[in-house]
Amino acid sequence: MREKITRQAILQVSEEIVNQEGYESLTLAKLAKVLKIKTPSLYNHISNLNDLRNELAVHALKQLSHQIMMSAVGKAGDVALKSIGLADIHFMSENPGLYDAMLRAPDPQNEEIEKISSEIISMLLRVLEPYHLSEEHAIHIIRGLRALSHGFNTLERRGGFNMNVPLEDSISVAFDTFIKGMITTLKK
């Protein structure tokens, strides 16, 4: 019996490669080598490299979405918001390659990607409900939170800052600051 090479197995190996060696290091040659087949044989399972990259992005988004949901279960308000933000950052810390795959999907308008993204957004909208923001304002806030997460991801990757001031703390303070700003604006 041959070794079963499934779509799942391919994604699995791809995930390991990007997380361990970086997004750029995911080549069909390397992938084939790990799977112990010749490069062109991969085309029986994927349609091309970009296709694989998109699937990897979906794969990543699914995991991230799951982790985010988990982190918010049983929490509300500020606490839930901050939890979600930290979960996002934590995910990228543990899965740098996957996070990259998400941000660098060749086709970000891909149907499946959009679907999961909007799931995440509607969950965030629910968390924001107690604040009674206008729908438009809520969207602004959600985008701000996402921007903070993605931005810290970028900063972390580039590294090289003053380590007397740990990045962890900055992340925590930044979320607190943003959330406080949101609440203060409401009370006016």
Partner DNA sequence: GTTGACAAACTAATAACATTAGTTTATATT
Partner DNA sequence: AATATAAACTAATGTTATTAGTTTGTCAAC
Residues engaged in binding DNA (CB under 7 A):
1-3, 5, 27-30, 37-41, 43-45, 48-50
Selection from DNA, a copy of itself, none that 30 binds (CB < 5 to 8 A by kind) is DNA
Say which entry of a copy of itself, DNA, none residue 134 contacts (CB below 5 to 8 A, set by partner kind).
none
Judged by beta carbon distances under 5 to 8 A according to partner kind, the member of a copy of itself, DNA, none in contact with residue 19 is: none
Compose the 151-170 pattern: x for residues touching a copy of itself by CB under 8 A, - for all others. Answer: xx-xx-xxxxxx-xx-x-xx
Burial class of 39 by CB neighbour count within 10 A (0 to 12, 13 to 18, 19+): middle
Rank residues 6 and 109 by Cβ distance to a copy of itself and give the closer one.
109
CA triplet 15, 19, 21: central angle to 5 degrees?
A: 115
Give DSSP secondary structure letters for the chain: -PPP--HHHHHHHHHHHHHHH-GGG--HHHHHHHHTS-GGGGGGT-S-HHHHHHHHHHHHHHHHHHHHHHHHTT--HHHHHHHHHHHHHHHHHH-HHHHHHHHT-S-TT-HHHHHHHHHHHHHHHHHHGGG---HHHHHHHHHHHHHHHHHHHHHHHH--S-TTS-HHHHHHHHHHHHHHHHHHHHH-
**Does 30 sit near a copy of itself (CB under 8 A)?**
no
Look at the block and give the residue holding tokens 């380590």.
163
150 in contact with a copy of itself (CB under 8 A): yes
Q: Which does 109 bind (CB under 5 to 8 A by kind): a copy of itself, DNA, none?
A: a copy of itself
Q: Find the binding residues for a copy of itself in span 90-149 (CB under 8 A).
A: 103, 105, 108-109, 114, 136-137, 139-141, 143-144, 146-149
Cβ closer to DNA: 7 or 126? 7
Residue 37 binds which one of a copy of itself, DNA, none, with CB within 5 to 8 A depending on kind?
DNA
Q: Which residues bind a copy of itself (CB under 8 A)?
A: 103, 105, 108-109, 114, 136-137, 139-141, 143-144, 146-152, 154-155, 157-162, 164-165, 167, 169-170, 173-174, 176-182, 184-185
